[in-house]
Structure 1
Amino acid sequence: MSRGDAPRILTGIAVATMIASIIGFVATMVLNALVFDDYDAYGEVPIPGTGSVHLPEGEVTISFHTMIIGEGGGLPVPRMKISIAPPDGVPDPVLVEDVGGTTTVNNDARVQVWTAQIPAEGDYGITTEGQVSAYVNPTLAFGHGSPYGHLPEIFAIVFGVALVDLIIVIVWIYRRKTPESTVTHHPLPVDAVGAYVPTDQGIRIQELDTLARLRDSGALTEDEFEAEKKRVLDGR
């Protein structure tokens, strides 16, 4: 693997991880709501009504359960009251309002309303009241949430980490890119190319060379050459 391939590979890994985490998040949310959430594991009590439910020690979910007709949607929670009588010698359960989202399957709808901390396993007497005349077969269901309820949070964290990695890779790629430098060649102005200007010494050398050629060709006698040479050297 060359160094140039690293950004592409890291980008692919980050994107694949994000896609997998989204799929995992959606899948676990659906499975937790429809498969693993055993909302009526310990029984149901009609509203209004009384009943006895065997509850384990620990947290128990209490959900409003009814049948709906027509399109599903958010299930409005009616005004309700619940009384939980513990077995002899057992403290009262701690009831906490904890309204959740609506789950609807084939016109069967439920929404979590309370959670109860049960101090000890046993048979608990349940008494329910509520303004439920507009509902079909309303009950309070006692059960527990999904044992995999933490998985959506894990997938959300994985998605966040992958997103941060993708941003880091993009910034890295951006910083590595350097724009190609373009060099523009401008012709030098005429004034910038200085013409050769001979010095006085150069002029005298040229004149002496010319006189020597004239003497050698016979155009000047030796006396004339010497006279002209003296004139050039004297700068006249």
Structure 2
Amino acid sequence: MAEVNGHEQQRNLELVLAEFRNYQQGILPTGPGARSLTEFFASIDEKLDPAAAPAPRTQRSDRDVLNLLTKRAAVLHLGPANYCWFADPSRALCLKLAGTPAAADRPLVGMCDSARCPQATHHPRHRPVWAEHADKTKIFIGQLGTARKTERTRLQADFDRARRARAAVTVANAVPTADLLNGHTKSSAHGLCGHKPVTGHQDGQRRRVRTHHPRGPGPHLLADAGALLAHRR
């Protein structure tokens, strides 16, 4: 069991690291929990600002990045079409729907409604799942007889939810980040992604960090992630 937990922790740390690198490149999360995750990544960017590093260091190491992401990785759970950041059980929609005590240590992934849960986010890797779900639901709706109004209403709501989730991921990663966050699209940034417009200072922070952390989450960082978890155990 300990070995399984260790592999799960390493996987989660690698996933969070990958999403942080995506954030630095302007690839943003969507979904109800997107604002919280984006603000967390922005805070990491600020901590990694070379100007804030103690002398005589000029930039933070990859190990520093992993250390800063570890707590968030510890609350990550994977859903079929979302990431669940189970930081506050009292806010978990699945537990509320099931009437489960807020003291639970894990979410009920099978009851996840990530389009409504404030701790759920959607990412580019989830778009195909939402797209397939929307396409299949549309076919089911077309096959229903006119008398099945209740089922049609339920499926239409499900289809609309999947279509919105798919569109949000598409728009968030097709529009330049600055334009999206400053509302230069037909839909508001709040409606699509739950983001607040970034300030010039925050945008400058992101550009500086990109300069000092140009690499994606390649083998060098994934190896560091494994070494860090092994050290912690």
After TM superposition, the score normalised by the length of structure 2 is: 0.20
Which has the larger share of strand?
A: 1
